[in-house]
Structure 1
């Protein structure tokens, strides 16, 4: 394939620029996904003498501030301040950071300036601005951010501080997710108008649905003009590698919907509540005075048994577990059910 040849050439260019040593690394897994090494790496190892190392070779090294905060207390307890200071670390400032981190972890919702609470030095103008938050509508993701780390929420949502991201030609996960949501919304709206039911459908109906969803996807993707090499791989996720639709996420979605059991039928799509995109929906929701807003991807109904099912599409990422729901750090589905 053309993109493989291009990537192989870039790989060769990278190798050619090395002067002394080359270090290769790859992730073995991410959350619940497992990765495999690049075929380029396997080819390289086959023809060049190399030494394989793993995490045990680097146990004594610290790569991030998070690791430093985790390992520093042990080093300080063992009287190894000189190890830290010799590495150019301000030990006194580090001790302060450790204490602050301890305050946050011991009581995330304690009334401390380190957990997003502001003390008595607030001006009247600042108080007025903070009171405006009472009238604000919050999304589930915003509340989850606050539940996980009030201080981070304060920095991001109140002070509007943002992390500077490296420019990328790839489709960001959020953008790809929005694209898939858009495809599925139009797909379900279309098949509902045509009275097409995917569940337990025959091959003929399945082929009709397949054509509809891929035609919709083609139009939406073409509008994005995804021509870069990294974006090529995102196209393959949607349409399948080398045009093989059976390997695409859309085809697998259709298969899953066809094989679903039970009597639930997709009925409502992109159902909004609260103010959304400067428009007000007919559903206003608040819990204990906290106003909420959001958009439910899909609601399936079981009309015979008077039941409903809330469905939220996830392209990737960690699924909420019982402990997340009980501790209040996963709020999206509970809010949607409410």
Structure 2
């Protein structure tokens, strides 16, 4: 069984399970009878059971192997159970006594040899031998056997040795090679070439996500260049900012990982979609009187009716995994959303500024007509030379200013560092687009005041400033903490002096152009390698490419705003990797921004 799969690697537990199966179904005709098993594998729980049933006392073997003889495994760490405080042990001392008794029984169960297997490390963590080993050495002699090369003679060991040879040798040996592994030789050479390029030489930039002209067909080069003329959404460019490689997979290769709705609850995507539809319908029916101060009960009834109708539409849209009527999980999620919407409505009721909701779901640059007939348009709006498309949830107007509102159901908070690093473009870009949309409709006397997040959640409804001008703080916008509306604190970091506010909007507009320039040039590196770039013409005297610290125009990070107009380097570059479905493909954890040495 193991021989037929010798070219594959398994976890140790898989290997043990195979050995257990072999031991259970194999009989040896030695000193034992034909029907007597002479190889047996026990788990620790089985040993404990055998010890206390006295069965282990009657079992003897020529050779006994005790695996995982390290601290925390044997004896196991004590983990009290708060639900079962006296099961299986009342305290750590009792568990240690039990483990010592099992070890004593094991010491009496072998005739010739006992092997205590002490692994040195688990991944990067070094392991500590079991404390029982020191106690055993104190009363008897224990021979230590060092395993110099645990993979020697194995297929993985041979391939690893040959890979090291290819890595360290300019001209690898091409002589005799095992016939059954002959097809692996070219693959190993290719893998080593790629890894050496990524870590040291940077000769093959295509494996670092940089598509240089000579690596592309004329059609592919033309396709990338045409991306300067396409229409972009903010979400697309934020994806590129967070990880160019993820953008490449999603938007250039057009891979898609669809979220399967297999559960009866509202998925995050559907919950957000339902919320937006309900709020649009609510305000669209109240365009003449959007404030909810008076007639609050009537407004809440309207909101409930819209939620019931829209949630029923969403339930009927589930055709692959349909949800039946009166499904308790679905209804519970809808009721949670209802409670959150009531909290949001209460906040709107207590809003005390003369700034009112005016435009709702104003889309631009999209094929379908905008839901907002006054402000929306199908023509893209340009930020610099980049054509943009999207949809603004809501625009409030009053006191000679306007606010851009974005509805959210999540708990994450966007801070100024995310804006400066280019990972959060939405509010800054939408403020500029909203001003253009208003100007297109003859409204030119309004100043951009703020971009606000309306967080509509079950636990608490809040309004948080994403970016705003200090001059209009308390006049055109406020924060809501769940109970009270208050002016934004100057210490928030989101509130800016008028001049700095305008500079930040201009700076973020520049990010948009830089991203599109980089996309059209074929720059799609891992986020951890954004600064590592080699120009094809940069060569050393030996003809090898050398790493260059010069970053091409429109590409890379700077450390502070005074260093240039590129995005600021994020403090945690790999944060977007936490929920990325491609992280096992890109191997971001194996490729750091600083090249690895051979030491």
Q: Is the TM value for this pair above 0.5? A: yes
SS at match of 1:222: helix
Corresponding position of 1:138: 232
Question: Quick check: 313-322 or 326-335, which moved more?
Answer: 313-322
Q: CA deviation at 1:45?
A: 2.6
Indicate if the aligned counterparts of 2:369 and 2:377 stay in contact, CA closer than 8 A.
no
1:123 and 2:217 aligned: yes
| Selected match of 1:307 from 401, 415, 419 | 401
Q: CA deviation at 1:306?
A: 1.1
Q: CA deviation at 1:126?
A: 1.5
Q: CA deviation at 1:121?
A: 1.5
Q: Distance in 2 between matches of 1:237 and 1:95?
A: 55
Q: Distance in 1 between matches of 2:244 and 2:121?
A: 30
Q: CA deviation at 1:176?
A: 1.2
Q: CA deviation at 1:232?
A: 3.5
Corresponding position of 2:185: none
1:113 and 2:206 aligned: yes
Please identify the structure whose Cα radius of gyration is greater: 2
Q: CA deviation at 1:163?
A: 3.1
1:293 and 2:389 aligned: yes
Alignment RMSD, CA only? 4.2
Corresponding position of 2:353: 262
Q: Structure 1's 146 and 260: CA in aligned 2 closer, same or farther, altered over 3 A?
A: same
Q: Distance in 2 between matches of 1:223 and 1:209?
A: 21
Q: Distance in 1 between matches of 2:286 and 2:200?
A: 54
Q: Distance in 2 between matches of 1:121 and 1:172?
A: 42
SS at match of 2:286: helix
| Selected match of 2:83 from 23, 29, 45 | 45
| Selected match of 1:250 from 328, 335, 341 | 341
1:210 and 2:338 aligned: no
Indicate if the aligned counterparts of 2:198 and 2:208 stay in contact, CA closer than 8 A.
no
Corresponding position of 2:333: 234
Bigger helix fraction: 1
Indicate if the aligned counterparts of 2:194 and 2:207 stay in contact, CA closer than 8 A.
no
| Selected match of 2:362 from 265, 271, 284 | 271
Q: CA deviation at 1:307?
A: 0.3
What count of residue pairs does the alignment treat as equivalent?
A: 254
Q: CA deviation at 1:337?
A: 0.7
Indicate if the aligned counterparts of 1:181 and 1:313 stay in contact, CA closer than 8 A.
yes
Query: Which ranges in structure 2 are unaligned for 5 or more consecutive residues?
Result: 1-44, 47-80, 90-119, 128-148, 164-190, 316-322, 371-375, 433-599
Corresponding position of 2:423: 329
TM-score computed with the length of structure 2 as normaliser = 0.37
Query: Which ranges in structure 1 are unaligned for 5 or more consecutive residues?
Result: 1-19, 22-42, 52-59, 63-67, 76-81, 104-110, 240-247
Structure ranking higher on relative contact order (CA contacts 8 Å, 6+ apart)? 1
Indicate if the aligned counterparts of 1:114 and 1:151 stay in contact, CA closer than 8 A.
no
Q: Distance in 2 between matches of 1:196 and 1:128?
A: 49
Indicate if the aligned counterparts of 1:272 and 1:283 stay in contact, CA closer than 8 A.
no
Q: CA deviation at 1:123?
A: 0.7
